[in-house]
Each structure stands twice: as C-alpha cells, then as structure tokens.
Chain A
Amino acid sequence: MRPAWLDRAAIAERDMTGADGAALRLEGVSRAFGGLRAVDGVSLTVQAGERRALIGPNGAGKTTLFNLIAGAVPVSAGRITLFGRDVTRMAAHRRAALGLARTFQVSNLFPALTVLENCLLAAQGLHPAKLAMHRPLSGYRELHARAHATLAAVGLEGRARVSARHLSHGEQRQLEIALALATRPRLLLLDEPTAGLSPAESAQMAALLGRLDPAMTVLIIEHDMDIALELARAVTVLHYGRVIADGTREAVKADPLVREIYLGA
C-alpha cells in the first residue's frame, strides 16, 4: 500500500477543504468605504461541493463581498479562510492560485484580444508557462487544447478568432464564464451571470451553469430568483451589508423577514 502522502487523491481531498470540510469561511468580515459599512460583520461558511446563492437587494454589499473574498479589495476587519488557509491578507493572484475564480458583474474581458486569446490568458494564468518568453505561445498545445475545450463548453467555439469587443453582450457574458472556467477552479464566484441578458439568453446561461462540474463549489449572486434557486440549494440573504437569513432555499423562502424586504410579499 502506498503511503498516504503519495496518494494524490487523498492529497487532493485534503487540499480541497479545510479541516472541517469548508471551501470558504468568512468570520466577521467587514469593509467600510469612508463612513459607509458596505459589508458589515458577515460570517458565512461554504462547504466543499456546495452551491450557494447570495441574494439581496441592490446595494446590499454582494459584489463588495465578492471583491473581499477574491482579494480585489482588502477587508477592514474579519478573517477569510480559503480551503483551510487564512487568506485575509493574501494578494488576489495568490488566492486564484489556490483555486478561486470569479466572474464580474460588468464584463471584464480583454477587449482588443480575440476570444481565443482571452481564453488562453485564462488557461495560462495558473500554468508555469506564463513566464516563458523563449518560444511562441502557438507551441503550447496543452494550453490551446484547454482554451478550445473551454470555448466549446460555453458554446463560443465558432467565435474564437473574433475580437472580444465585437462579441454581442450575450456572448461576452459567456466568455466571462469561460475565463473563470479555464483556470479550472475549485471555488467559483459568479457575479450575476445573467446581467443584461434577454429571457432566452438567460435560459441558455442557466443551462450552461447547470452543466458545471458537480465537484466545483459555487457561490452565485443572481437577481433572477428562478435561476439562483434552480442552481443553489443553500441561500444566504444580504441586506445593508449584513446576513439576515441563511439556510436552505425553502427555509429562506419562508423566512418572514426575507419575504418582507426582498421578495416584497
């Protein structure tokens, strides 16, 4: 029998999660902009493999919370643990290296580059080849294969040679997902993937999200409740920067406070 430290599956398993199986743990996380507490003492645990929706009215602090988790904005207070490691002070790119990927509410692409180049950048982001200067990128078969596979997965295969700025809005939202997926994340933060999409496009997006690898942990901000609740069984409700409800979708739906302030019932 091989020793445990050689067992790659076991290492991967241990690596996936913290000691208690959490992919992400927030403890009292706060962020103030001037006098405004955009995120105010949020504590939250997302288990490995869990799909959780983050909902709340506009200005509830959802995107700020994503920025804090991803490291784009430093926290004012609190602690963030990713796969069992304290990442509170860790730079964004190092969090990505731990297996965290995110999408942006307003598409954040590389507009002058082709769709394929966009995906190649995502594919090489965590690859040692990204620092290689001595041979052309076209020689890296593995990166190209991964980029093409990701494009196929989101249905943009036929648009590989088009500049990202010439894509339709719906296609840009698909590329936004592709960039996150090409890094092969273990934890995926989706910030309103259907923002600005027509109902037909939204349905397409929902189908795409439904096909995501079930082993991937997903935290999704979504205004379309149908899509959010179809994808996620667990729901956290944010209001003025605070968590006001947290539980299964049924429990949250039944929560009187949530119904009052969010569902408007």
Chain B
Amino acid sequence: MRGPVAAAAVVVAVLALIAPLLPAYPLTLLTQVVIVAVLAMSLDLLLGYTGLPSLGHAAYFGAAAYAVGILATERAAGFVTCLIAGLVLATATAAIFGVLAIRAVGTYFLMITLALGMVVWGLAFRWVSMTKGDNGISGVPRPDLPWPGSLWSPLPFFYFVLVAALMAWLVLGVIVRSPFGLTLKGIRESESRMRALGYNVWLHKYLAFVISGFFAGFAGILWAYYNGFVSPVDVQLVTSVETLLMVALGGPGTLAGPALGAAAIVFLKNFVSVYTKRWLLILGAVYIGVILFAPRGVVGAFTRGHRS
C-alpha cells in the first residue's frame, strides 16, 4: 500500500516541478490530463472497485460543468456558489439516477445508465433557453481567488487544478482503503456472499454510485473553468465511453491506473489529431487493441506480474 502512494507522490511532485519549464500548449494539455484523471478515478470507484460498468458517467461531469457555466456567465456567480451548485447538481443527479439504475444488474445496468446519461445530453442539447443548445455556453470566466498568480495564466491555473485533483485523489484513496472500500470490492467479487454476511448490497452500491457522481461533478467544475466553454459534447455518450476506456486501459481498481489511462488517451487524442485527420480511426483501433491485447489494463498487468 505504501508503494503506490509513494509513487503517486513522486509523480505529483515531478509534475509540479516540470510545469514551469513547459511551453503553454503542453502545459494546457497536462492540465487537461489532471482534470480528466479525476473523472476517470471517480468512475473507477464504480467500475474497478464495485464492479458497476456505468455508461453514463459524463452526465454528472456535465451537470456540474453546466451548473458552473450557467451560474458564472448569466448570474456572474462567485467561485463558492459555483462549486457548491455544481457538486449539488451532480450529486443530486447521481442520487436520482442511482435509484433507477442500481436495481438493475449486469447488462441492464449498462443500458440503463446509458439511457439515463442520454436524458442529460438531451436536456443539454434541446433545453436551449437554459443551456444554449448545440452552441454551448462560452466565456465561462475563471474565478478570482486569493491564489499566487492569476488563474487566467496557464501555470497558476495548472497548480490550482493539481491541488484540487490531489485533494480528490487523497479522499478517494482514503475511501477505497476504508472498511467501506473493502465492502465495495466484496460486492464486486460476490454479491450473494455479501448478503449472507449481513451487507445491504443495494445500499452500498447506491452510496458508491452517488459518491462517484460527486467526484465526477468535481472534475466537471474544474473542466468548465479550464475550457471556459460547456457544450453537449461534455455530456455525450462518447465522453462516457472514453472515460470507461481510460479506466480499462489503466487498470480498474487501482485509482492511479485510470489516471495514467486518462493521460494516455488525452495525449493520444491531441497528438494524433495534430498529425492526421483520421484520429477517430486510430482511437477506434486503440479501443479494439486494448480489449484484445490488454484486457486487464496496463497497470493491472504489471501488478499481477509482480505478485505471481
């Protein structure tokens, strides 16, 4: 347990140290990686730890991003208001969807979370008076916080995001190592045995679902400030599926792995799209390749190799 924590601390320290040396574009990409890593870790709590493959995770991410986008532009709301509203909206959405989705098992769960995710997408797309529809909400201002340097400049904003992500990662790390975290793994391994041992399986799955939605919302808030723009793309099915791919690629049930998976996909998408227009083709091939050749994820393959 000490090993991964130390390794992650080193990675964060290295990121913090090299950031000032980076030109603007790589730094912006790195900021994006850190935010998306939080989203991937939030999904890992469901997929990797609890064994629930949600296909609608972008809904909570996007709900929070929209809350921030709308409040910060039309109401000129401050950071604290946006933060609270974003987290509340994401968590409430997860709390409502969870009631419907957690009853379902296996493939039904996949399909129901997909359909529920589409509800949010549909609202983002069609509820034009609120969300501006396909045009999205642009010009989301970054907050004015007592922070060393303006959040409008890339470097201070990167540190801001890094600190926020570190907090999310620490909290998630504590949760997965707690008795509750072990309970989630137990549910992933055998629900029937968990029931026989006195666990209210529904309740624990539901809590995991809501907590996961909360952290996805946290990432969504950072995203709205990072991008300055919120649109239906942020809540669409492909975003949800991409997050699943990050978790699968990095190794479910490890937190650090999905963060690495997020880095790999974000860099791949951006670099490939620089060199060729056919990046969808390549991304599609990556999906298929990951499933055929590294079904347990890169990190998973490594750790298994160590133990046996």
Partner of A102, one of B175, B186, B196: B196
In the complex the two chains form, is A124's CB within 8 Å of B185's CB? no
* In the assembled complex, A96 has its CB within 8 A of some CB on chain B: yes
A-B contact count (CB 8 A): 102
- Selected interface stretch from A126-134, A194-202, A242-250: A126-134
* In the assembled complex, B98 has its CB within 8 A of some CB on chain A: no
0/1 interface trace, chain B 1-22, chain A, CB 8 Å (1 if under): 1000000000000000000000
* In the assembled complex, B198 has its CB within 8 A of some CB on chain A: yes
* In the assembled complex, B194 has its CB within 8 A of some CB on chain A: yes
Q: How distant is the Cα of A137 from the Cα of B1 in the complex, in angstroms?
A: 12
The residues in B between 147 and 176 inclusive whose CB is less than 8 angstroms from any CB of A are 174-175
Contacts of B186 in A (CB 8 A): 110, 113, 121
Contacts of B178 in A (CB 8 A): 132-137
Partner of A133, one of B174, B194, B200: B174
Partner of B197, one of A96, A129, A135: A96
Known: A93-B200, A97-B198, A126-B198. A108 touches B179 (CB 8 A): no
Contacts of B199 in A (CB 8 A): 93, 125, 130
Partner of A135, one of B174, B182, B185, B190: B174
* In the assembled complex, B270 has its CB within 8 A of some CB on chain A: no
Partner of A137, one of B179, B195, B200: B179
Q: How distant is the Cα of A122 from the Cα of B199 in the complex, in angstroms?
A: 10
Contacts of A183 in B (CB 8 A): 197-198
Q: How distant is the Cα of A120 from the Cα of B1 in the complex, in angstroms?
A: 17
Instruction: Place the interface of chain B in its size category.
Output: 20 to 34
Known: A109-B190, A110-B190, A111-B189. A133 touches B180 (CB 8 A): yes
In the complex the two chains form, is A108's CB within 8 Å of B181's CB? no
Partner of A72, one of B1, B185, B195, B198: B195
0/1 interface trace, chain A 219-261, chain B, CB 8 Å (1 if under): 0000000000000000000000000000000000000000000
From B180, B189, B196, residue with most partner A Cβ within 10 Å: B196
In the complex the two chains form, is A120's CB within 8 Å of B193's CB? no
Interchain nearest-CB distance for B12 vs A (Å): 20
In the complex the two chains form, is B193's CB within 8 Å of A104's CB? yes
In the complex the two chains form, is A109's CB within 8 Å of B181's CB? no
Interchain nearest-CB distance for B142 vs A (Å): 32
Partner of A132, one of B179, B188, B189: B179
Contacts of A113 in B (CB 8 A): 182, 185-186, 189
* In the assembled complex, B183 has its CB within 8 A of some CB on chain A: yes
Closest B residue to A129 by beta carbon equals B179
* In the assembled complex, A168 has its CB within 8 A of some CB on chain B: no
From A112, A124, A127, residue with most partner B Cβ within 10 Å: A124
In the complex the two chains form, is A112's CB within 8 Å of B189's CB? yes
Q: How distant is the Cα of A96 from the Cα of B200 in the complex, in angstroms?
A: 10
Closest A residue to B253 by beta carbon equals A112
Q: A132-B180, A135-B178, A137-B178 are in contact. List 17 more A-B contacts (CB 8 A).
A: A70-B196, A93-B194, A93-B199, A93-B201, A110-B185, A110-B189, A117-B182, A122-B197, A125-B199, A130-B199, A131-B179, A131-B180, A133-B174, A137-B177, A138-B1, A138-B177, A179-B197
Interface residues of A (CB under 8 A from B): 70-72, 91-93, 96-97, 101-102, 104, 108-113, 117, 120-122, 124-127, 129-138, 140, 143, 179, 183
Interface residues of B (CB under 8 A from A): 1, 174-175, 177-183, 185-186, 188-190, 192-201
A-B contact pairs, 26 of them (CB 8 A): A71-B195, A92-B195, A93-B195, A93-B201, A96-B197, A104-B196, A108-B190, A109-B189, A110-B186, A110-B189, A112-B189, A113-B186, A117-B182, A124-B183, A125-B197, A125-B198, A125-B199, A126-B197, A126-B198, A130-B180, A130-B199, A132-B180, A133-B175, A133-B179, A133-B180, A137-B182
